[in-house]
Structure 1
Amino acid sequence: MTALNDNIALPQPQPAEASVRRRTLVAACSAHAVHDGMTDLIYVLLPIWQLQFGLSFAQVGLLRGAYSGVMASFQLLASRAAKRWGRTRLLVGGTALVGVAYLCVGLADGLPLLLLALMLGGLGASTQHPLASSMVSDTYEAGGGVKEALSQYNFSGDIGKMLIPALVGVLLTVISWRTSVTLMGLLGLASAALLGWLIAARGVPTAKVKKPVNAGTGSGSVSGLRALMLTGIVDSAVRMGFLTFLPFVLTSKGSGTAGIGLALALLFVGGAFGKLLCGYLGARIGMMKTVWLTESMTAFLIILVVYLPLTGVMVMLPLLGLALNGTSSVLYGVVPELSTPQKREHAFALFYTGTIGGGAIAPVLFGRLGDFTGIPVAVMTLAAILLLTLPLSWCVQRGLDRNALENQTEPT
């Protein structure tokens, strides 16, 4: 009878563990979708703010860069504060702060107040990437499937980028931009409440995980992580710079506000599927080959955006989104391979700080370039700079190979 009871009891922890993993992923994906959607909503609003407040392209870049810059600057502090205050409080509080920031944007009557409100939003957004991604990695490592879970997490971010800017693009045809951003602020507050419930309901995994075979511990992981950060910085800088200029390129081709919202939606639809596709492609053909393929395609398609008519650009945008955003999914998946479980949260914070920091500086620098040379030259300059990722990804691969060799020769 005892043996029978033992046999019946053995399978019971598996459904509970699967439920925790599932709820963790849902919570992280929800946070990523809301935060990324609210972040990229700025691209739809930039042309409106330029006209209303009489801004130069450099000031437009400053607005975009302020949000991303603050977000990048406080990510390391967020990862450290999580050890003291807990991931749940910071993640929920940060999401609520983004909502409050958009309520303040709706009340801004000039550049200074608008800038302060966006900086407040960036502060709240700084909690999401390092905490949610490390939460997914920690929960999934015991049972495997970290890369697949991170791909779904990255996919959800692009779903938010697709839905929220498109929704506001439609709203702008019937209500003012101030009312639209106020509604988005209320959405942020509601999302914070939902996120708190999801995290509280999912439980906290307490089982200790074994150190994975490919965890980064040696010189290969250090050099590889540095090269990975540089690759991510260049990729993010070009992506953010291009997204800042895209609404103005479309406007010059005759697009209206609703058309810009649709264009961003098409771009992010392609980007969402790109993150899923490139994650699996990277697992099959390797990180370096995937990066070379996606970055070369991105540079070529960015140049086409300058020369194609509006209809051609709209048709091509999903393919551009696939290549433009797909690279980041491959790069994110390498972070766990170049860090130990104990330092993973810090490694994610470092990586996101570098990539988002690069994305914050790019709009300001290239906005200035756009003021002097015009948008077409600035956009083509972005395409040329993107090719720097090709040699950098080769350095990342060397670090991965060296790290794998060191782990094979490490005594057990």
Structure 2
Amino acid sequence: MRFTPFSLPPRVASRSGRPASPARSRVLWLSCVAHALHDGYTDMIYVLLPVWQTDFGLSYGALAMLRGIYAGTMASLQLPAGRLAQRLGSRAMLVLGTLLAASGYALAGMSGSLLGLYVALTISGSGSSTQHPVASGAVSRAYGRNARGPLSIYNFSGDLGKSALPAAISLLVTLMPWRHALWMMSTLGFVVAAAIALFLPSIPRNAHAAEEPSVPRRSTAGTGFSLLFMIGVLDTGVRMGLLTFLPFLLRAKGVSSPMMGSALALVFIGGAAGKFACGWLGARMGVAGTVLVTEGGTAALIIAVMFCPLPLTMVLLPLLGVMLNGTSTVLYGTVPELTSVEGTERAFALFYTGTIASGAISPVIYGFLGDWIGIHGATFATALTAVAIFPLAIALRSYLAPGERTQA
């Protein structure tokens, strides 16, 4: 039988409709590569802003607009991207999005004005809007009820991209003009798009429907997903709010500017470890139990960091990072449990839209609160927000399959 790069051989799917193991692994690893690339593209802007300021003579307001345009486009188009993926297919949509993201940076390298940068970053941001809903949905359909662990790997891969690509562009701009560096990074995106087009298996949307008798009914799933969505929004607000105040708390304890980078790195390293580990922990403890542990730990560690002496605070920072980021992996892994197979991409798109919007808005809210009641009061409010998630997590238990409620 003949087949094209967009139609894999029949052995890719088993009789039940589930992709065979090698194909499932390809879905996971290519999704991880796409996640790392797109998240890396998102954070590369932080490195490029000073370069663009020097080259174009931009104000801080104009620089903020550059970052805002990329993030706003990416957040606002996730739901349309999820819907379009249902028509075009996950592979075609992910290829198209990766090509757009890479092309946007290639155009940025050709831009000679601020308007050109705005247009280029709008294109790149629209391309990156496809990755979260489409790749998450592909992994969840490929692995079915066993998707929680693979989704934690997928989630962790984004942190690798956020570390690797900004570091790479930082090095490249010291070796060559920034335009050439951007063209090199966009070439990487074109290569990834080609790899996805050639090697990402096609996953039927009914791949695990027959094996999921415990998937909640539509009305029940809607209520459960709403609870999960609210937990995700609040959890992101806690994380971003605390990270807004943490440098000031550490400075008040006597942390110098050079030491500040190391202190924050401890939090981020712990956060990456938390994303990787808590997905597997959730499969063993249950979703509600894991959320209660991570949010309770977050609240306790926030208070400890506020009042402990500096040496003990530095020891606690990695554990704080684990708790701050650990919940997100458990929540992402639960999205497919609370939605129908055909609605997976839309559910992920809605969930990511909410968490990204929370990440943008919550620092502003906590910032105004800090102006009103002081930095310690506002930081304590982030701990109270983590505690406020408890009743939501307890209510969520009744909407989960029995194996997801308590420890297996």
Q: TM-score range by the shorter chain?
A: 0.7 to 0.9
Matches within 5 A, 1:241-252: none
Q: Is the 8 A contact 1:43 1:243 kept in 2?
A: no
Q: Deviations over 1:74-126 (max 9, x none)?
A: 11111211222222221111111111222344455665544443332221111
Change (3 A) 1:124 1:172: same
Q: Is the 8 A contact 1:228 1:393 kept in 2?
A: no
Q: Is the 8 A contact 1:136 1:146 kept in 2?
A: yes
Q: Deviations over 1:20-64 (max 9, x none)?
A: 1111112211111111122233344456667762315xx665544
With normalisation by structure 1, the TM-score equals 0.75
- Gaps of at least 5 residues in structure 1 are 1-11, 406-412
Q: Deviations over 1:307-350 (max 9, x none)?
A: 99999998876444433322110111111221122322222222
Matches within 5 A, 1:371-390: 373=371, 381=378, 384-385=381-382, 387-390=384-387
The Cα of 1:131 is off from its aligned counterpart by 1.0
State the partner residue of 2:59: 54
State the partner residue of 2:10: none
State the partner residue of 2:35: 32
Q: Is the 8 A contact 2:288 2:396 kept in 1?
A: no
The residue type equivalent to 1:166 in the other structure is: A
State the partner residue of 1:357: 357
Please say if 1:152 is aligned against 2:157. no
Q: Deviations over 1:228-265 (max 9, x none)?
A: 11221233345456668889999994349xx96x8877
Please say if 1:290 is aligned against 2:290. yes
Please say if 1:326 is aligned against 2:365. no
Q: Is the 8 A contact 1:20 1:204 kept in 2?
A: no
State the partner residue of 1:164: 165
State the partner residue of 1:394: 391
Tell which deviates more after alignment, 218-227 or 235-244. 235-244
Q: Percent identity?
A: 43
Query: Equivalent of 1:73, from 72, 76, 86?
Result: 76
Q: Is the 8 A contact 1:98 1:120 kept in 2?
A: yes
Aligned to 1:214, the other structure's residue is in SS state coil
Q: Is the 8 A contact 1:335 1:347 kept in 2?
A: yes
Change (3 A) 1:228 1:13: closer
The residue type equivalent to 2:129 in the other structure is: S
Change (3 A) 1:203 1:379: farther
Q: Is the 8 A contact 1:78 1:127 kept in 2?
A: yes
The residue type equivalent to 1:391 in the other structure is: A
Alpha-carbon distance in structure 2 between the residues aligned to 1:385 and 1:322: 16
- Gaps of at least 5 residues in structure 2 are 1-12, 403-408
What is the root-mean-square deviation in Å for CA atoms of aligned residues? Answer: 4.3
Alpha-carbon distance in structure 2 between the residues aligned to 1:248 and 1:172: 31
Alpha-carbon distance in structure 2 between the residues aligned to 1:313 and 1:106: 43
Alpha-carbon distance in structure 2 between the residues aligned to 1:276 and 1:211: 26
Q: Is the 8 A contact 1:30 1:156 kept in 2?
A: yes
State the partner residue of 1:129: 132
Change (3 A) 1:49 1:273: same
Q: Deviations over 1:113-164 (max 9, x none)?
A: 44443332221111111111111111112xx521122122112222212222
Alpha-carbon distance in structure 2 between the residues aligned to 1:178 and 1:247: 33
Please say if 1:191 is aligned against 2:160. no
Tell which deviates more after alignment, 122-131 or 267-276. 267-276
Alpha-carbon distance in structure 1 between the residues aligned to 2:374 and 2:176: 35
Alpha-carbon distance in structure 1 between the residues aligned to 2:306 and 2:181: 30
State the partner residue of 1:336: 336
Alpha-carbon distance in structure 1 between the residues aligned to 2:30 and 2:296: 34
Change (3 A) 1:298 1:38: farther
The Cα of 1:178 is off from its aligned counterpart by 4.9
Q: Deviations over 1:168-227 (max 9, x none)?
A: 34445555655544432232222222222221xx35457563152431215543222112
Aligned to 1:210, the other structure's residue is in SS state helix
Alpha-carbon distance in structure 2 between the residues aligned to 1:389 and 1:150: 23
Alpha-carbon distance in structure 2 between the residues aligned to 1:228 and 1:162: 28
Alpha-carbon distance in structure 2 between the residues aligned to 1:178 and 1:250: 37
Aligned to 2:273, the other structure's residue is in SS state helix
